[in-house]
Chains A and B, each alone.
Chain A
């Protein structure tokens, strides 16, 4: 059974600091997604990583994928309060986006 683990589960950081969220998964996959969820809201797609070594960046967030290590990272640069949310990684092993297995989520709190 595919397991997807994120760490940390909770992250409190000051504005302006950098940090990385890690996503480890247990089965070979070359398709990994990052989503953001604000409290009481839906999930918003952030990144789709489709191959080993893929790197995507959007604003202060950068995601990468190492399929050999079965590891994805979400790096936050110079955090701002607006980035406070829960971040999920999700792995697809079916070859289509038909069966995503989500990580446990990382709740990020950026303090002023």
Chain B
């Protein structure tokens, strides 16, 4: 069983479109995250939710909107996609401040 699963794994879309990435964890963790890895492999946190409550909201365009329907799920919706949004988006989870477990990543390409 995959601990942190993301869908889709690959996403190719046109500028201006809206897209979503879904994430689910079956580890019973209480905190979930979205990280963005750019083309230079630099990783940066975007959002974090603890028990469905937003606790970290980094300087991210408001075209990005996370949503956590329950503590096992954290989705990322992106409006009006831009070329600069092309990246790999990683979902992760942790419990009680312990080490993060990452998903396999979702590679978004905006044309």
Min CB gap A104→B, angstroms: 7
Q: A42-B105, A86-B41 are contacts. A100–B100 as well, Cβ < 8 Å?
A: yes
Which B residue's beta carbon lies closest to that of A107?
Answer: B41
| Interface range for A | 20 to 34
Residues B56 and A99 in contact, CB atoms below 8 Å apart = yes
Q: Which residues of B contact A100 (CB under 8 A)?
A: 45, 100
B residues 69-107 near A (Cβ < 8 Å) are 90, 94, 96-105
Query: Which of A14-22, A57-65, A70-78, A90-98 binds B?
Result: A90-98
Distance in angstroms from B85 CB to nearest chain A CB is 19
Closest to A41 in B: B104
Given contacts A35-B102, A88-B43, 12 further A-B contacts (CB under 8 A): A41-B104, A41-B105, A42-B102, A42-B105, A45-B101, A86-B41, A98-B33, A98-B48, A98-B55, A98-B56, A102-B44, A107-B41
